[in-house]
Amino acid sequence: MRALRYDEVGALPRIDRVPVPDCPPGGALVRVEATGVCRSDWHAWQGHEIVPLPQTPGHEFAGTVAEIGDGVGRFAVGARVTAPFVNGCGTCAWCRAGDAQVCPDQNQPGFTHPGSFAEYVVVRAADFNLVGLPDQVDAVAAAALGCRFATAYRALTGHAQVGPGTEVAVFGCGGVGLSAIMIAVALGARVTAVDRSAAALDRAREFGAAGTVRSADPLDQVAQVVAATGGGAQVSVDALGSAGTADAAVRSLRRRGTHVQVGLMLGAAAAAPLPWDRVIAWELTVVGSHGMAAAGYPPMLDLVAAGRLGPAQLVGSVTDLAGAGDALVAMSDPAAAAAGIVVARP
């Protein structure tokens, strides 16, 4: 089969011919119909996360089941499916509680084993990790759900309990930030979007942001968000992942507000300080959000099928595997986020 691979950190990805993966017991072999190009793939390619080499990136995908392993009972060949980017073992205490996104024995296509920038990808513990797709959700829209949209959905519904009238501030209007804006608006919230890019904020307004803050100065961001939200947001989301945006997002909250950290904090940012005096005195909640387990997908898919959420609107272009490699390399330019999600069809 054809697969996009890189041999070394930062090496230009290339199309290779590789064997079709074996279908493991309890797993499924999925023929990939569409796969999203995500900044998490870029982080691994840049060496910010250690992955086995050579590696085929890709963890946001939709397709059809081509083969099932022994013991799979919930899915048959031909089923239209997607899967979370974190695949749980299905048997540990966290998986049994519905929290596969923090499974200590988790695996991730494109990170622990070859991913979906290929004609086929393996999903382990298929009965537990595969998600059936409604007829109304096509492959491109399902690939756009990926880690960005699903992570944003759980951040707002599972952690922050966003509802009608909630004041939400979203810092960073790339793929996950725009997803958070779309979802928050669909839930009835009032959203203030923060970014330094005018193009990104234009997209934020398209998705329903009631207010926008264009600034690269964290202190100015805080002041503008507090003014726009009538005293501070009830919920803040750092969708970028930096010391500055995390700090500004927390400081933008009103008393007893909730901050959800969605953007990855890597390198020096992994130990970035937060204003803990404010967190304690104002009884703020600070929580991390790492994807969403397969068990959490049905309510989100119901909203997509009903037309209340439109992940396909986040797609900027549809390309082939070679184009996916180009898009991965282009992510080295932060301005690329404003162009929308790139989805590849193998």
Model confidence over 148-160: pLDDT tens digits? Answer: 899 999 999 999 9
Q: Is the sign of the CA dihedral 68, 74, 80, 81 positive or negative?
A: negative
How far is C-alpha 81 from the geometric centre of its chain's CA atoms?
17
- Buried b / exposed e along 270-300 (16+ C-beta atoms within 10 A): eeeebeeeebeeeebebeebbbbbbbbbeeb
**Reported confidence tier of residue 334, pLDDT bands at 50, 70, 90:** low
Q: pLDDT of 171-203, one tens digit each?
A: 999 889 999 999 999 999 999 999 999 999 999
3-state secondary structure of 322: helix
Q: Is 49 exposed, middle or buried (0-12, 13-18, 19+ CB in 10 A)?
A: middle
Q: pLDDT of 118-157, one tens digit each?
A: 999 999 999 999 999 999 999 999 999 988 899 999 999 9
**Cβ partners under 8 Å of residue 315, min gap 6:** 140, 141, 144, 340, 341, 342, 343
Q: Indicate whether 116 pLDDT > 80.
A: yes
Q: Is the sign of the CA dihedral 235, 239, 243, 245 positive or negative?
A: negative
How far is C-alpha 177 from the geometric centre of its chain's CA atoms?
9
**Reported confidence tier of residue 339, pLDDT bands at 50, 70, 90:** low
The span from the CA of 173 to the CA of 196, in Å, is: 9
Q: pLDDT of 239-283, one tens digit each?
A: 999 999 999 999 999 999 999 999 989 888 989 999 999 999 999
Q: pLDDT of 294-316, one tens digit each?
A: 999 999 999 999 999 999 999 99
Q: Indicate whether 335 pLDDT > 70.
A: no
Q: Indicate whether 38 pLDDT > 60.
A: yes
The span from the CA of 324 to the CA of 338, in Å, is: 17
Tokens describing residue 9: 């950190």
Ordered DSSP codes for 160-198: S---TT-EEEEE--SHHHHHHHHHHHHTT-EEEEEES-H
Largest CA distance in the chain: 59
